[in-house]
Amino acid sequence: MTHAPTITIDTASPIPAYQQIVTAMRGVLVSGQLEPGRRLPTVRELAIDLGVHHNTVAEAYRTLAAEGWLDLRRRRGATVLSRVAPRPSPAVATEFSRNLRAVTAKALADGIPCCTVAEALTELAQELSEEVTP
């Protein structure tokens, strides 16, 4: 079986493990490291690899399936789907702005200069855009 790129989580983090899995897998999916049709590790395999309960991985897979990233079939596992980026709803745009504001405020509060924040965001957006649209 072909496995997904390695992801890691921090079990001591206050962020729920399933959300860490979703975030890590979403990053791998957006970057194009997992092509459509690729099978992911089973829920149990990934749970063992990450040291979490299988329900934690199942919840992460269900979340990614709801976002249109995965096809989940009983006894066949999770398969990566071809996904066209949706048009952002006003609620999604508002949440994005709120999250970006929080990350930026934290960076500035930690002493990272504004120009460094802007450069990092521009570089990251370009990097991800290039990976998504070859």
Q: Are 80 and 29 in contact (CB under 8 A)?
A: yes
Apex 46 CA angle, 32 and 68, nearest 5: 45
Q: Are 37 and 2 in contact (CB under 8 A)?
A: no
pLDDT in tens, 62-111: 999 999 999 998 777 899 999 887 788 899 889 999 999 999 999 999 99
| Domain residue ranges of the chain, discontinuous segments joined by + | 17-80, 90-132
Report, as an integer, the average pLDDT of 19-47: 91
- d(CA 70, CA 23) in angstroms, rounded, equals 14
pTM: 0.72
Please state, in angstroms and rounded to a whole number, the distance separating the CA atoms of residues 78 and 39. Answer: 6
Q: Which amino acid is at 8?
A: T
Place of tokens 């709803």: 89
Question: Is the CATH code 1.10.10.10 the one for domain 17-80?
Answer: yes
State the Cα–Cα distance between residues 64 and 30, nearest whole angstrom: 12
CA 67 to chain centre: 11
Number of continuous H segments (helices) and E segments (strands) in the chain: 5, 2
Q: Quote the pLDDT of residue 130.
A: 67
